[in-house]
């Protein structure tokens, strides 16, 4: 059995150990500490000695909102130099952020909007635009001209499209959509696998115009995202390449 190290009167960061208390359920020693801010807290001895706990929590609160020093920035930059996320990690991060609504409801101040507006004057116009002249097969989203391909025959049947909207309760099916509170929003019918001729009801989902447009980027991720929604909501079954009958 290891000999107990007496930490009484020793200081760890902002904490000064005043006394020992009962061990925790794992048999680890616990110590009563007085923080420089005046609050008392009970801390595990290992956390004190290893520097994991240095205050009652006030140290973290004091750091919130304070800019990082140039030395800290340099250390962070050096630690990330040469490191790259794998393709799998990028896909996981992309999927993790889909449907996120953490920034919804946030509004910039009038002053901030004016500054952003002035900063964009003259940008993205004519030859200054990074997309200038990048049309057709020169465009980064070029898919071989599939936008000109015809839809399936049933696509012109408005009753069929209406049945898809009715099935989805006339709501955009993206859980992160910020327009669901607007009853007058325009609703589109989206092909989940982006194949226009695949108009099976399992491959169609109701989206607002904004969410339908955003789905054109990172198509593989959005296909997986919306298929998972359909599986959870309607128990549809899919295989890796096509819609199951």
Tens of pLDDT, residues 20-72: 988 888 888 899 999 999 899 999 998 898 888 889 888 877 776 677 778 88
Distance from C-alpha of 95 to C-alpha of 98, rounded to nearest angstrom:
5
Residue 16 lies in a domain: yes
Range of the domain at 219: 148-234
pLDDT at 145 over 80: no
Distance from C-alpha of 32 to C-alpha of 184, rounded to nearest angstrom:
60
Residue 208 lies in a domain: yes
> At 242, is the pLDDT very low, low, confident or very high (cuts 50, 70, 90)?
very low
CB 197 within 8 A of CB 164: no
Residue 227 lies in a domain: yes
Residue 174 lies in a domain: yes
What are the tens digits of pLDDT across the range 185-200? 789 999 999 998 999 9
Q: Indicate the range of 17-26, 72-81, 152-161, 234-243 predicted with least confidence.
A: 234-243
- How does strand 187-191 pair with strand 15-21? unpaired
Phi-psi category of 35—alpha, beta or left, where left has phi over 0 and alpha has psi -120 to 50?
beta
Residue 102 lies in a domain: no
Question: Tell me, what's the pLDDT at 124?
Answer: 66
CB 30 within 8 A of CB 4: no
Residue 106 lies in a domain: no
Distance from C-alpha of 187 to C-alpha of 46, rounded to nearest angstrom:
58
Q: Tell which of 63, 78, 103 closes a domain.
A: 63
Residue 78 lies in a domain: no
Write the CB contacts of 36 (distance below 8 Å, at least 6 apart in sequence): 14, 15, 16, 55, 58
CB 208 within 8 A of CB 179: yes
What are the tens digits of pLDDT across the range 115-125? 877 777 776 66
**What is the pLDDT of the chain when averaged over all its residues?**
81
What are the tens digits of pLDDT across the range 78-94? 777 777 777 777 777 76
CA-to-CA separations, 241 to 18, 77, 142, in angstroms, rounded: 66, 42, 21
Residue 139 lies in a domain: no
Question: Tell me, what's the pLDDT at 73?
Answer: 79
The helix/strand count (H/E) of the chain reads as 8, 6
Distance from C-alpha of 200 to C-alpha of 164, rounded to nearest angstrom:
10
Q: How many domains does the chain have?
A: 2
- The separation between CA 13 and the C-alpha centre of its own chain, rounded to angstroms, equals 35
Nearest to 186 by CA among 210, 167, 163: 210
> At 240, is the pLDDT very low, low, confident or very high (cuts 50, 70, 90)?
low
DSSP code for 177: -
Q: Tell which of 63, 86, 106 closes a domain.
A: 63
């Amino acid at each position: 059995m290891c000999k107990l190290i007496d930490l009484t009167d020793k200081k760890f960061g902002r904490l000064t150990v005043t006394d020992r208390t009962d061990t925790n359920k794992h048999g680890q020693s616990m110590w009563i500490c007085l923080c420089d801010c005046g609050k008392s807290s009970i801390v595990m001895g290992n956390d004190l000695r290893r520097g994991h706990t240095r205050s009652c929590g006030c140290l973290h609160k004091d750091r919130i909102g304070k800019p990082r020093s140039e030395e800290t920035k340099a250390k962070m930059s050096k630690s990330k130099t040469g490191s790259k996320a794998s393709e799998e990690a990028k896909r996981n991060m992309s999927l993790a952020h889909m449907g996120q609504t953490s920034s919804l409801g946030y509004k910039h101040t009038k002053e901030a909007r004016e500054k952003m507006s002035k900063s964009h004057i003259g940008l993205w116009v004519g030859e200054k635009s990074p997309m200038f002249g990048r049309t057709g097969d020169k465009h980064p989203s070029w898919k071989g001209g599939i936008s000109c391909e015809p839809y399936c025959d049933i696509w012109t049947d408005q009753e069929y499209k209406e049945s898809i909207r009715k099935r989805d309760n006339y709501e955009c099916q993206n859980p992160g959509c910020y327009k669901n509170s607007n009853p007058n929003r325009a609703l589109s019918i989206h092909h989940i696998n982006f194949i226009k001729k695949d108009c099976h009801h399992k491959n169609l989902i109701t989206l607002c115009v904004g969410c339908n447009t955003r789905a054109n980027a990172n198509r593989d991720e959005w296909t997986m995202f919306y298929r998972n929604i359909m599986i959870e909501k309607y128990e549809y079954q899919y295989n890796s390449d096509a819609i199951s009958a």
